[in-house]
Structure 1
Amino acid sequence: MKLLKILFLLAFTSTFSQQNLLQSGPMLGYVEMTEAKIWVQTKAPAKVKVEYSSPENPSETFISNEVSTVKDNAYTAHLILEKIRPGKKYNYKVLINNQPLKFNYETSFTAKKLWQWREDAPEFTVALGSCAYMNEPEVDRPGTPYGGNFEIFTSIGNKKPDIMLWGGDNIYLREADWDSKTGIYHRYTMTRQQKELQPLMANSQNFAIWDDHDFGPNDADRSYYFKHQTLEAFKDFWANKSYGNNPEQNNGNFSTFNWGDAEFFLLDNRFHKSPNDRKTGERTVLGKEQLEWFIDAVTTSKFPFKIVVIGGQFLNSAAKFENYATYHEERQYILDELEKNNVKGVVFLSGDRHFSELSGLKRPGKYTLYDWTVSPLTSGVATSALKETNENRVEGSLFMQHNFGLLKFFGNKDNRALKLELFDKDGKTLWNKVITLKELQ
């Protein structure tokens, strides 16, 4: 009996010890029909893997690749699950040094459904938010803490979105951070371990773009000398499907993915962006290579809904701050290319501004093009919208408080629609609008 107690105590101590090695996560990245990615961060070198099974056959378990975490990339691990099947739900466990971890919330996902040529597109929801500031008093600016209402992440998780879109300014690099790899990885680590984030990250797919505060200093552009280092950190801490269109050139983090009958285009508005104040040379947000990649990709997309995600506002008519209106020629080029190529079903999503609003641009003979700005999640709230004239603002859509958005794709093939719904920090509806697919044709 004494030996059994000793063995039990040793097993309990070992499990507890491995639990203490977890820094943050797990975070669910992309999920395809036959493959998924899960991200985990440990506090020290460790061996990490994932065990997963379908509730339909829980005795049949599968194991991901095993990753030995190292200090150079902040002990992060990207784990590939290769045995999933279309439309199936899976429960998963994280194992550190072969010991399974325990969580007080579910850890599960559902593989992408194979619906094409078989049935109507499935209903699904996508959460959206930007500007997430986590306080760190030792290096934050003096005064009232800039971040607050972190319960908003619990409210998002309670909506059980299939996907969470992080719309930029997801970590807020500060003066103590952006000049060193140590500072950059510290800020990512500190932000990612926020306890309210964990259930949301574990059960919804997470995709991210960046804006200036993830990329470098405020309003940072292509001249930022450490941009390749912040790009590597972005890759280490997120689990998007791809980054840029040429991995050998390491040319930004723009990419695309699809779910249901929507394709999402994640644009990089920083890596190639020309300086705001430069008077000579090209004036660009995306850069020539990314710009043409985007036009090619959105033109050839076969998905009815084409959702374009970018850090700054695309349709706000006020040519101030870093609105795309201050880069008029490139903005107009995109609008012209969409029209000349008869691209249908486009909706822009943006953040950055610390307030939320819907902008709509009615194009002659074409559908109204929308840009839904959703901001902020937890950072300071701005009232600057009251001091600028956005001629494209949809009446009643302006909100200046902590908030998040939810996009719901629903209806059969003859009545497919997209519902935009804005919520406060507690998950209560502030505003909504339904846009039918026919209106986007």
Structure 2
Amino acid sequence: MKSIIIAFILLAPLWVKAQIKSGPMLGYSDMKEVLIWVQTEKPADVSIQYWEKGDKIIHKTDPVHTAKAHAYIARIIADEVTMGKKYEYEVVVNGKKIAFDYPLEFQTQELWQYRKDPPAFSFIFGTCNYVNDETSDRPGRPYGGADEAYAAMYSKKPDFMLWGGDNFYYREPDYTRTGMIYRNDHARSVKSIQPLLANVHHYAIWDDHDYGPNDADRSFPLKHTSLEMFKMYWGNPNYVFPNEGITGKFQWADVEFFLMDDRWNKAPNELNDPNKDYWGQKQMTWLLDALISSKASFKIIVNGGQVISPAKIFENMANYEGERNYLLKEIKNRKIPGVLFLSGDRHITNLNKLEREGTYPLYDLTVSPMTAGKADAVKQDYNATLVEGTLVQERAFSKIEVAGPLKDRTITITIFNVKGEALWTKEIKSSQLK
């Protein structure tokens, strides 16, 4: 009996850790609060203890009870923080600290406005993340792979990660609330991604595969359940239309990110009408209003599909020419500086540049896929907007760095393969987007 008790004591930390199904994951970071996401295996009380690096004062959150109705997820706000600081933290489940074999750190954003130049920062951007699952994948060669990409992304030490859609893939058995919870759980609990989740802040949009089936549009009957899942599993700071999709916005230093929803209002691809909805009038009006009022050095519009390429293929916005033409016209007419796009979907990576008479060019960086199957570019991709030397037809992700004084900020884009090896680099200055 004594040996059994000793063995139980020795194994206790492992038993406690087993109560964590996935996470912790860092959500948004602001100046006065940070969101931390944790999922447990069964009902539990979860809290966070945190302290500023180099300080001994420990702050504790109130416990959050996890329940089956919400997939045993705790969304915890750390609100006793100071601006522009880095913190270490611990996860406490049912009063016991959880042991991890990697560090747990988060940060708050800095108050730089009217005081100094904005801080330099970096983020990872990628799309199309497929996690294999023998129980429901199609027969044949697995579609996903290369999860060494997660460690490569983590090694780049970004401030945050921006997930650009198809962040996981719903399968045929998943179109119930139970199935959607299963698919989110399955993708989120991959062991190799946990250090990245725990130490890098995360923001996201969706595209068709993490909204519904392939090419899903506004007619998808489970769209409200998809929205519930997105809000449960991601940590975005806001939703512009609370019950109508995932549209939102956040700021990091002097850069603003406009998170677009290309599914909720989108008309079917098959509808033969050049003026059919893509984002929809309500979302378009919000975007243009938000852009014109923005003072950001760079205004980054994040969308599931390509916007700038004129190729009318797959689900590029060019297939919705009425909205695309209106968007491009209004950006010019309203004299909005600093606009560029991030997109995914295509399972290729490239940079498109649209020259515009009388104003600056518009760039669209497409980065795809991370771990899903790669594809080949098609003939229409080789059009006048394709920037020479930027087409990549293998799994990849990007690190985007922003640096320099406020009046001369520079974005540096580097594309990496899944091993973390650089494939190409491109600089864009804010002075070139005016």
TM-score range, shorter chain: over 0.9
Give yes or no for contact 1:424–1:430 (8 Å, CA) kept in 2: yes
What secondary structure sits across from 2:300 in the alignment? strand
Partner of 2:200: 204
Q: What's the offset of the Cα at 1:139?
A: 0.9
Distance in 1 (CA, whole Å) between partners of 2:282 and 2:9 is 55
Q: 1:52 aligns with which of 50, 53, 76?
A: 50
TM-score when normalising by structure 1: 0.95
Structure 1 unaligned segments of length 5 or more: list them. Answer: none
Structure 2 unaligned segments of length 5 or more: list them. Answer: none
Q: In the superposition, relative to structure 1, how do residues 437 and 17 fare at CA in structure 2: closer, same or farther (>3 Å)? A: same
Distance in 2 (CA, whole Å) between partners of 1:116 and 1:424 is 36
Distance in 2 (CA, whole Å) between partners of 1:390 and 1:213 is 27
Size of the aligned set, in residue pairs, is: 434
Q: 2:367 aligns with which of 364, 371, 374?
A: 374
Partner of 1:95: 92
Distance in 1 (CA, whole Å) between partners of 2:55 and 2:246 is 38
What secondary structure sits across from 1:214 in the alignment? coil
Q: What's the offset of the Cα at 1:348?
A: 0.2
Partner of 1:195: 191
Which 4+ residue blocks in structure 1 deviate beyond 4 angstroms? 5-14
Map residues 13-412 of structure 1 onto 2, 5 A cutoff. Answer: 13-58=11-56, 60-177=57-174, 179-243=175-239, 245-247=240-242, 250-279=243-272, 283-386=276-379, 388-412=381-405
Give yes or no for contact 1:168–1:311 (8 Å, CA) kept in 2: yes
Which digits, 9 at most, give the CA deviation of each residue in 1:179-224, with x for residues without a partner? 2111111010001011111111111110000000000000000000
Distance in 1 (CA, whole Å) between partners of 2:411 and 2:272 is 41
Which digits, 9 at most, give the CA deviation of each residue in 1:408-429, with x for residues without a partner? 0011234321111100111111
Aligned-residue Cα RMSD (Å) equals: 1.7
Give yes or no for contact 2:274–2:321 (8 Å, CA) kept in 1: no
Distance in 2 (CA, whole Å) between partners of 1:9 and 1:111 is 41
Give yes or no for contact 1:208–1:238 (8 Å, CA) kept in 2: yes
What secondary structure sits across from 1:213 in the alignment? coil
What secondary structure sits across from 1:87 in the alignment? coil
Q: In the superposition, relative to structure 1, how do residues 367 and 108 fare at CA in structure 2: closer, same or farther (>3 Å)? A: same
Distance in 1 (CA, whole Å) between partners of 2:327 and 2:310 is 15
Distance in 1 (CA, whole Å) between partners of 2:358 and 2:281 is 28
Which digits, 9 at most, give the CA deviation of each residue in 1:150-198, with x for residues without a partner? 0001000000110100010011001111x21111110100010111111
Amino acid at match of 1:208: A
Amino acid at match of 2:209: H
The alignment-based identity, stated in percent, is: 42
Amino acid at match of 2:290: A
Distance in 1 (CA, whole Å) between partners of 2:184 and 2:194 is 14
Q: What's the offset of the Cα at 1:9?
A: 6.4
Q: In the superposition, relative to structure 1, how do residues 111 and 399 fare at CA in structure 2: closer, same or farther (>3 Å)? A: same
Give yes or no for contact 1:121–1:260 (8 Å, CA) kept in 2: yes
Give yes or no for contact 2:413–2:426 (8 Å, CA) kept in 1: yes
Q: What's the offset of the Cα at 1:228?
A: 0.3
Give yes or no for contact 1:421–1:430 (8 Å, CA) kept in 2: yes
TM-score when normalising by structure 2: 0.97
Amino acid at match of 2:229: A
